[in-house]
Structure 1
């Protein structure tokens, strides 16, 4: 496979003349029309000169097959899964193909690697595209041999004539196939006939990542590149008064020091850039700066005050209604006995293993960018708008990402690199230190919840939730005054059909702390509150927690998932002194149920014995990748539940590195058992949906064992008794 990360930039009239690839190659792509519908087309048609599209499959005369991955690869498996889909219908061997990253372009219909959307958002088009290419190659071969097309079949990158055994490899057919009309209705394989899809095939990016050939953002180098580090105001809204660079300029390698402003949502963050010959000199120069900030005119909040404000709001405000059935408030007000509890979840930092970085080269008529970018098309659009250049003049190249979790879909660090390059008139790599990455944010918002409920005759008579936490939409766009549309995220839709009196509301809450998506977004906090409270309602009803959920989750697919959870965990045969907890959440079109088993340690505290996870994600590609993603989600969920949080003092982030922001270690890992439900439903997400149910399943298990309810995260498992 190639070490290349990108394909050359294309234009409307030169689609078939990509630099470095033969002009007579066979290309197929997907064209996204103005109404966002996708049409598989042959780019050699006359209409191709008038439309914007991108290649997914490139077959050269030599027989080389290149598959284009339109999404970022940050560990979740896109670099393998997208080619695995294409290779299935195209009938090529994964070991024989070249995989490259696409450049940023809206022509792919959206390249954001987030919302667990890579497979579920594109697999149908990719299957159709690959089958279209296969059928055109078969037609081309049949024409050369003057035989019926139905006597020919595709296998391992070649077309074979079954009666005679004659064969032609795809390269020999590329030019002829490229001139054929595109079939309008190709036949896709049945699931039972898949050779690759649904199989646990070893990832094609693993060798690159173990032999050092994979190019991550921090590895990337271009000719003439300098390095930059930036001392930024530790409070987002503060302003630069002055700086003294005398000591910085004494450091060998430091070239220039100047003020910059980086766009963070709709705010400009002040900073001082240090540009040097190497990253070490830039970082050391940054440490030597003497900077005076003006932090007046906005609040400098600390974590205790933030928590108190949210709790006060939950007691005083009804909030903005997001969803409501019946009249739960009336029933709760009239009840003689009710549940009324509060759950608290903290702010979190992303802490991807590879800190934020980006290379930019600003030129008068063109800007080119390289780096670990979770949303290359967003970067292209943002830079195009901000620097007043046509989108086609902003070239965005992806590298591998050393983790992202939503942080690297944001545009601030990309914008910062371009600002610096424009100032120095040379290409530059901006390098964030671990401390920069940890403390500058944006962060996952900490959210608090109030749950109220009434049980009558063992049934849910009323259920009411209110949430108070920063709304990411208020930072991303002007939506103040509107409720948080993610208030019900993570809560299963069938509950709304079976619970007659239920409501969710959002209480607006603002601070100067910048917030952003974090793996599974609001489901990561909602899931803890909603599934913990469902467990409390089950206890109030004196019902088995899993049976209680089964009663209200009547949708057939969820019933099958619950059956599987019960079967694999031995739920019905659990012993009296064992702690078992359950939680079921839904996000990004996938449902995940988890059961956690805990026990008491001899030295005090709680240990996790085992986690059973069952996922219904519909159609899927690679079970091994799914298992890895579920396990990774559980580990990340464990960290957020019992190890780390981001706290603030006087408006500044406290936890600056791993020695303060503790991560789970290998000896903290429980045994995990993963099960995937097989069905014919449309594909759902995989990378994020398994995170939300872990925390409530864990705390529900602790209650089952000890009788102690944990309603505030994070908590220390060694202190639970």
Structure 2
């Protein structure tokens, strides 16, 4: 498989992808009010004047070119999407060329790479599209040979006539195939017949990322481009009162020093941009800049104040009810066997290895953007609205991303680059320093959970949770501040809601100037710790094995299969007495993940993590190596948030500025991770995020099993347990 650095639009797809001669192009579109996509040829799309999602094109040399409408930030879409297409199209992976799509929700539907949605949101359409193209090529060959189509089959880019052994290359068939109509129905392969899907094929983008030819945002250059860095107010809602740019302008290479505003939810964040003909000069000019800030009119929160407010709100604030059944309050009030616990999780920085950056060129009332962007269609619409442009006048080009975790789906940094480009009338690349990235946010919100439960014998008869923390949706312009947080049950196993007769989930929103947003697995990353820690506490109170306690409340065989697998691979029933074993199971983005953590005491008496077992049930999947890599990456990220790092605030400003204080997990601190994937007939779920939420609870439950000490606040130090 080859990858292309060229971003394309549907209009220029054939020309820019380098296809030779006549091309057979097949895509899909959504007719008005239709629930299913309709497969259609490119020529027919032009006649019908509909926007075609041009996924597959084959030229006369047999080269296959496909569009990847999602970003590639390490999660593996540049490998998984071609594997899906190669399977049903019956071509070799090396014959596929993949290119990034430009931002356009009209053409491609949702392009947001988030919610672990790339494969689960499109795999069925991709399979059908590929199979349709294959069947049209087979029919073209059968007509040419004047034989029955049933006598022919496709293999490795050829159509073969079974009785005679005659063979035609796809390239020789594309012209005639392009005249046929796509079949109304196609039969897809059974998973047992897969030759490419479900195989641990090596990622084709790995060589590009190791030999330096992959183009990330910081690698992208365009003619006449200047460089900008921005001194932004460190207190989020503060304004620029005045600035002295004399020393900054004296730095050789500095061209402009201008005030700038970028939209962050419903507010404008203010700063001063230093623009130069090279990045070093821009950075030096920023250091010489003198800015006076106006920080009046809003609260300057510290971490201690934020958590005090959240804890106080359980008794003083009005809880917004999200989901209830029965009467959890009455059940708790009258219960003889009940339990209550409070859990705290921290604010976190995204801290992608590639800090934020973006190129913008505003010219003749049109705007073009290049950069590491998770949601190109969102950027197109949002920046067009903010700049007073039509969406069609904004072109958004994706590069590879050096990590995203939700941060690069936000819209502030492309808007800032566009504003600066318009002001200086030149293309500009805005580069954020590591300190900018870590201190400006938005952050994962810190949360506090008040959990109350009731046991009837060994079963949960009531489960009640109040959640205090910032509601991401309340930051948007015109937001209804009385609306509940619909994500507060993320991570909670769905079938628990069937087996528990009384439950209540509600939230008490915290108001703060600190901007918050999605962080890998979103609210599940904090919910999972609270919910699965409390489930474990209830199991202990019921004097039951933690896995057996969970099993009796899960009325669906899929969950039992996962528990059985987890029990088997971890040796749960034969676990030793000199070690602690903890388990947690969470569900998000249509996938279920169970994890067991084993801990013990080192010779110095300190806690060490010996091993982690993870069982992923994501339903239908593509590449087991990518699944395992995503599970491992999620656990490493969860490890950091559990025992290494957090973002704190003092006087309204983020404290941790770089990796010297925001400590990341090191390779020698990560134990062996053993990953198992469930095979079943379920629809595809997410892979990139669902393995993060269970880890922290599994770890703290293991520590309790070993030491009897219950940890309800993270991060904590393993050395101090």
Q: Is the 8 Å Cα contact of residues 257 and 275 (structure 1) preserved in structure 2? A: yes
Residue 265 of structure 1 corresponds to 265
Residues 583-625 of structure 1: per-residue CA shift (max 9 Å, x gap): 0000000000000000012223210000000011100000000
Residue by residue over 1:338-371, the C-alpha shift from the partner in whole angstroms, topping out at 9 and shown as x without a partner, is 3121100000000000000011111124211111
In the other structure, the counterpart of 1:710 is 711
Describe the SS at the equivalent of 2:8.
Answer: coil
The aligned residue for residue 539 of structure 1 is 540
In the alignment, which residue of structure 1 is the partner of 2:528? Answer: 527
| 1:364 partnered with 2:377 | no
Distance 2:16 2:452 in 1: 61
CA deviation string 1:22-75 (max 9, x = no partner): 562111112133436422211222664410122111111222211221111101
Query: How high is the TM-score relative to the length of structure 1?
Result: 0.97
Aligned twin of 1:73: 72
- Shift of the alpha carbon at 1:252? 1.5
**Is the partner of 1:118 in helix, strand or coil?**
coil
Query: Is residue 2:111 matched to residue 1:111?
Result: yes
- Using the alignment, how far apart are the partners of 2:712 and 2:32 within structure 1? 47
- Pair 1:506 & 2:507 matched: yes
1:30 aligns with 2:19: no
**Structure 1 residue 459: deviation in Å?**
2.4
Distance 1:696 1:537 in 2: 14
**Counterpart position of 2:49:** 50
Shift of residue 16, structure 1, vs aligned partner: 6.0
Paired residue total = 718
Match for residue 92 of structure 2? Answer: 93
**How far apart, CA to CA, are the structure 2 residues paired with 1:331 and 1:629?**
41
Match status 1:682 vs 2:718: no
Q: 1:667 to 1:16 in 2, by over 3 A?
A: closer
Measure how far apart 1:115 and its partner are: 0.2
Show the counterpart of 2:307: 307
Q: Is the 8 A contact 2:321 2:507 kept in 1?
A: yes
Residues 9 and 395, structure 1, Cα contact 8 Å, conserved in 2: no
Distance 1:605 1:39, change over 3 A: same
**In structure 1, C-alpha distance between the alignment counterparts of 2:8 and 2:648, rounded to whole Å:** 44
Alignment correspondent of 1:441: 441
Question: CA-to-partner distance for each residue in 1:512-547, whole Å, 9 max, x for gaps?
Answer: 000010000000000000000000001111111110
Distance 1:145 1:476 in 2: 62
State the alpha-carbon separation in 2 of the partners of residues 257 and 189 from structure 1.
60
- Aligned pair in 2 of structure 1 residues 305, 599: CA closer, same or farther (>3 Å)? same
* Aligned counterparts of 2:372 and 2:62: Cα–Cα separation in 1: 31
SS at match of 1:533: helix
Moved more, 640-649 or 171-180: 171-180
Q: Which residue of 1 aligns with 2:125?
A: 125
Residues 6 and 398, structure 1, Cα contact 8 Å, conserved in 2: no
The residue number in structure 2 matching 1:464 is 464
In the alignment, is the contact (CA less than 8 A) between 1:30 and 1:108 conserved in 2?
Answer: no
1-side partners of 2:434 and 2:293: how far apart?
22
Q: Provide closer, same or farther for how the CA distance between residues 598 and 78 of structure 1 changes in structure 2, counting only shifts above 3 A.
A: same
Aligned positions of 1:245-324 closer than 5 A: 245-317=245-317, 319-324=319-324
CA distance, structure 2, for counterparts of residue 212 and residue 17 of structure 1: 26
Q: Where does residue 217 of structure 2 map in the other structure?
A: 217
Deviations 1:433-468 (A, max 9, x none): 000000000000001000111223222232211000
1:242 aligns with 2:234: no
Partner of 1:40: 39
- Alpha-carbon deviations, 1:373-400, whole Å to 9, x = none? 1011111111222223222221111110
What RMSD in Å do the two structures reach over aligned CA positions?
Answer: 1.5
> For residue 636 of structure 1, what is the aligned residue in structure 2?
637
Find the counterpart in structure 2 of residue 181 from structure 1. 181
Alignment check: 8 A CA contact 2:647 2:655 kept: yes
Greater alpha carbon shift after TM alignment, 425-434 vs 455-464: 455-464
Structure 2 CA distance for aligned equivalents of residues 660 and 369 of structure 1: 33
Q: Secondary structure at the match of 2:526?
A: helix
Report what 2:421 is aligned to: 421
Structure 1 stretches of 5 or more lacking a match? none
What SS does the corresponding residue of 1:560 show, helix, strand or coil? Answer: helix
Instruction: Give the direction of change, closer, same or farther, for the CA distance of 1:3–1:19 in structure 2 (3 Å limit).
Output: closer
Question: Distance between the aligned counterparts of 2:430 and 2:619, measured in 1?
Answer: 41
**What CA distance in whole angstroms lies between the structure 2 residues aligned with 1:435 and 1:239?**
19
Is the aligned partner of 1:191 residue 2:187? Answer: no
Separation in 2, partners of 1:318, 1:238: 29
Unaligned runs of 5+ in 2: none
3-state SS in 1 of match to 2:10: coil
CA–CA separation in structure 1 for the residues paired with 2:365 and 2:371: 21
- Show CA shifts across 1:190-230 (max 9, x none): 11111111111111111111111111111111111111101
Alignment of 1:313-352 (within 5 A): 313-317=313-317, 319-352=319-352
For residue 165 of structure 2, give the secondary structure of its aligned residue in structure 1: coil
Q: CA deviation at 1:20?
A: 4.3
Q: What residue number does 1:620 align with?
A: 621
For residues 383 and 31 of structure 2, what CA distance do their matches in structure 1 show?
23
Please give the alpha-carbon distance, in whole angstroms, between the structure 1 residues aligned to 2:447 and 2:268: 25
Match of 1:232 in 2: 232
Find the aligned partners of 1:316 and 1:339 in 2 and give their Cα distance: 22
Q: 1:61–1:580: structure 2 CA closer, same or farther, 3 Å change rule?
A: same
What's the secondary structure of 1:561's corresponding residue? helix
Equivalent in the alignment of 2:139: 139
Report if aligned partners of 1:262, 1:416 keep a CA contact under 8 Å in 2.
yes
Any idea what the Cα deviations from partners look like across 1:280-312, whole Å, max 9, x if unmatched? 111121111100010000000000010100001
Q: Distance in 2 between matches of 1:41 and 1:15?
A: 16
Q: Residue 659 of structure 1 aligns to a residue in which SS?
A: coil
Q: Is the 8 A contact 1:314 1:449 kept in 2?
A: no
- Distance in 1 between the 2:3 and 2:467 partners? 47
